[in-house]
């Protein structure tokens, strides 16, 4: 059984004090609602310590949105995974399309980060997804296959329980344009087949695959009803309790 996994990617929003206050309110609301899915939030680096503190004692996972591809050294402006672990953050989002698009992260760079995170026993949400141009020119499967094969290169079968994949079509992120549940499910099924071919049916069947791209309270249920959609990676709608809580409690 794959337990639903709802994650909020705050991106570069909410100051540390806003984030801390929101995280406390969220932890309380999630507890009160008796949500039975796994819940994660990913604030910016500077907000992480306050948010970790704010959700202590709850079941909410706190994740980083990115990390350096080295453990330490002369890498000005970077944050090492060891620093994250030191403050109690053991989960990281890697390969988000905004990192790929605006900061030049290649599949090879992302793979280096995945391997580093896993060597420290961290959990990873690996983001994959095609641009509109790639989809329209029929390259969807080719792009997903490459992002998965290169992104997971040298990840051992026994380490795959540390990996979640988020399918985020670039054209659906922050645009209000969601993939139809059918299109998303088809992409998820392809991702699962790709992982089965690389690893095993068992590993593929246990893999959590989140959908991301304009997930809202009004569309989450239809997406989550699909066989291969196991969770959501939510951007804009994760920033307010009134939007995020109904997403977390989609099955209530």
**Contact footprint for ligand PGA (CB under 6 A):** 9, 168, 173-174, 212-215, 233-237
- Using DSSP's 3-state secondary structure scheme, residue 226 falls into coil
Beta strands (DSSP E) in the chain are: 5-9, 38-42, 61-64, 91-94, 123-128, 163-167, 209-212, 231-234
Query: Can you tell me the distance from the alpha carbon of 12 to that of 200, in angstroms, rounded to the nearest whole number?
Result: 37
Q: Give 35 or 233: the residue with its C-beta nearer to ligand PGA.
A: 233
As to burial, measured by CB atoms within 10 angstroms (0-12 exposed, 13-18 middle, 19+ buried), residue 203 is middle
Query: Can you tell me the distance from the alpha carbon of 223 to that of 168, in angstroms, rounded to the nearest whole number?
Result: 13
- Is 90 part of any known ligand binding site? no
- Is 11 part of any known ligand binding site? yes
Pairing, β 231-234 against β 38-42: unpaired
Q: Give 9 or 63: the residue with its C-beta nearer to ligand PGA.
A: 9
By beta-carbon distance, which residue lies closest to ligand PGA?
A: 235
Closest CA to 218 of 237, 239, 240, 241: 237
- Within 10 angstroms of residue 176's Cβ, the number of other Cβ atoms is 9
How near is the Cβ of 246 to ligand PGA at its closest, in Å?
A: 14
How near is the Cβ of 122 to ligand PGA at its closest, in Å?
A: 19
Closest CA to 44 of 73, 59, 29, 22: 22
Q: Give 105 or 168: the residue with its C-beta nearer to ligand PGA.
A: 168
How near is the Cβ of 74 to ligand PGA at its closest, in Å?
A: 31
70 is catalytic: no
Q: Give 55 or 247: the residue with its C-beta nearer to ligand PGA.
A: 247
Catalytic one of 98, 105, 130, 168: 168
- Is 174 part of any known ligand binding site? yes
How near is the Cβ of 202 to ligand PGA at its closest, in Å?
A: 28
Name the binding residues: 9-11, 174, 214, 235-236
Name the binding residues for substrate: 9-11, 174, 214, 235-236
Active site residues: 96, 168
């Amino acid at each position: 059984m794959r337990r639903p996994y709802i994650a909020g990617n705050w991106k570069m929003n909410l100051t540390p004090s806003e984030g801390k206050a929101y995280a406390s309110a969220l932890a309380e609301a999630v507890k009160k609602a008796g949500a039975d899915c796994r819940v994660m939030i990913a604030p910016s680096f500077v907000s992480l310590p306050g948010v970790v503190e704010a959700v202590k004692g709850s079941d909410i996972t706190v994740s980083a949105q990115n990390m350096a591809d080295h453990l330490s050294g002369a890498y000005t402006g970077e944050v090492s995974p060891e620093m994250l672990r030191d403050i109690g953050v053991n989960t990281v989002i890697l390969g988000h399309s905004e990192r790929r698009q605006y900061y030049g992260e290649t599949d090879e760079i992302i793979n280096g980060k995945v391997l580093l995170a896993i060597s420290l026993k961290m959990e990873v949400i690996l983001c994959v997804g095609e641009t509109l141009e790639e989809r329209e020119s029929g390259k969807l499967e080719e792009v997903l296959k490459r992002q998965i094969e290169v992104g997971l290169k040298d990840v051992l079968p026994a380490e795959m329980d540390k990996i979640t994949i988020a399918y985020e079509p670039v054209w659906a992120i922050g645009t209000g344009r969601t993939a139809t549940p059918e299109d998303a499910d088809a992409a998820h099924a392809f991702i699962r087949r790709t992982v089965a071919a690389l690893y095993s049916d068992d590993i593929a069947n246990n893999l959590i695959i989140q959908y991301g791209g304009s997930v809202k309270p009004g569309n989450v249920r239809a997406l989550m009803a699909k066989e291969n959609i196991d969770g959501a990676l939510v951007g804009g709608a994760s920033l307010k309790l009134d939007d995020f809580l109904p997403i977390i409690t989609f099955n209530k």
